[in-house]
A and B are shown apart, each in its own frame.
Chain A
């Protein structure tokens, strides 16, 4: 037993990916909490952006279910339109964005649209929202997904949000300006692109998880970077910041 949950570890791992002063597309749930932790610890000058037309310094005080909820607008740095906020992406002014998805493949491409054939899908997923725009135009992408074999697949059925496409320099050749996925945080491990193919490699394993288990739950032949680490446990300061935000212990179990 640890004094933190898996989800809390994921939040803190995500928070560590945010640098001070950066402008970040945040999203709901786990990423917004990670953003809050980063602001309270090592990145007090980070700025959070929300597709609907909101920019914030401090995260919302009260629980929000959508980016459009009142507490996310009260005391915002800017409430405006979608084009004004998402245009910052196209203008190359956003450092990083968080996205999740139903499926990710070994080149970091994400599917949130169709499982199976587009014409007769087995599952029609809700769709993209602004994720393709973030994946294409943010300087780098932080991905959070649950680590299951049917989610981490060899090749996604539909690329909603581009990672490294077919690998190598395919992303650059397609005209995408951002550097693409730089980290994938799961409930078992942390993956990062590695080597000339930009294939996702195992970079760190969370405490209490094993290499065999991570490989077993990955849908492609997962390789490792030369020195795989164990994910650093949350520090007392990081946990204190998280508890300050997550007053009701939503992420504790």
Chain B
């Protein structure tokens, strides 16, 4: 993943981290972006839990495009607040969306629509605070019908955590997927973080479970628990304690710096992070089975 980020992510890029909402958040990529000191990123995610907060604290972020930034366990994200309220460590530009409007902006970006006319954020001051959005009347209606025009989002790159992929990036995902599908098609480049790499035949045996076909994928990285501390269905439980600890240990800028040194900057890679977690990570590993029924694709 170090090579993939070095090659594909540039300062100033728009980066999707956390398209699935609160599961499958690519924290391993978040860490590596901090280690490689990327700057002026536009972080795009509906709800990214503490991933965006970490990147802001580490000085990687110029813009945030999203619906919710904080710590789902702890409430506020301290770095996000500091940046928005007092410009520390640097001022950030916030583009507010609702979940559905950011979703439909990805949809427009994915399928070549210049914008989508939405009704679901009518009445919200988000329309006034986000200069990308514009009020209009439905030109096809006989009666006046207000709509909000939301332009397409076309991110430079999306990082996506999947349960399993083959070496070509064909990826199986199960459970709720948030905006994974739309973000992956809208993004110019895709980097897949696979919990497990399997033979191509395994993925091909169930094409209905493919959410990301390999032909659009720029890099596949095998990183177990890349989602930690977020959950991954059937693989890893959520590390609620870790989220609470982050909240307690990042209240002041110098506290965040200590936290970030300990958990990110002083570690060479995600393998070292997993080793540092040790038994705490093992306890989160899902070992039970609740298997779905097989689907028959036979032709005769």
Contact = CB atoms under 8 A, between A and B. Distances in A.
Contact of A159 (B103, B124, B146): B124
Interface in B115-133: 118-126, 129
B70 A171 contact: no
19 contacts: A52-B21, A52-B23, A52-B178, A65-B238, A73-B176, A73-B233, A79-B176, A81-B103, A82-B46, A82-B103, A83-B103, A86-B99, A121-B84, A126-B77, A127-B96, A128-B67, A160-B125, A160-B126, A174-B123
A87 B145 CA distance: 19
A90 B119 contact: yes
Nearest to B211: A81
Given A65-B238, A81-B181, A82-B100, A129 B68 contact: yes
Interface residues of B, number: 62
Nearest to A158: B125
A211 interface: no
Chain A interface category by residue count: 35 or more
B126 A132 contact: yes
Contacts of A69: 22-23, 231, 237-238
Interface in A55-97: 65-70, 73-74, 79-83, 86-87, 89-90
Interface of A: 50-54, 65-70, 73-74, 79-83, 86-87, 89-90, 113, 118, 120-133, 135-137, 158-162, 165, 171, 174-177
A8 to B, nearest CB: 23
Interface in B48-91: 66-70, 72-73, 75-77, 80-81, 84-85
Contact of A68 (B73, B75, B231): B231
A241 to B, nearest CB: 26
A181 B203 CA distance: 47
A160 B67 CA distance: 11
A82 B178 contact: yes
B181 to A, nearest CB: 6
B290 A68 contact: no
A82 B181 CA distance: 10
B174 interface: yes
A134 to B, nearest CB: 9
A122 B86 CA distance: 9
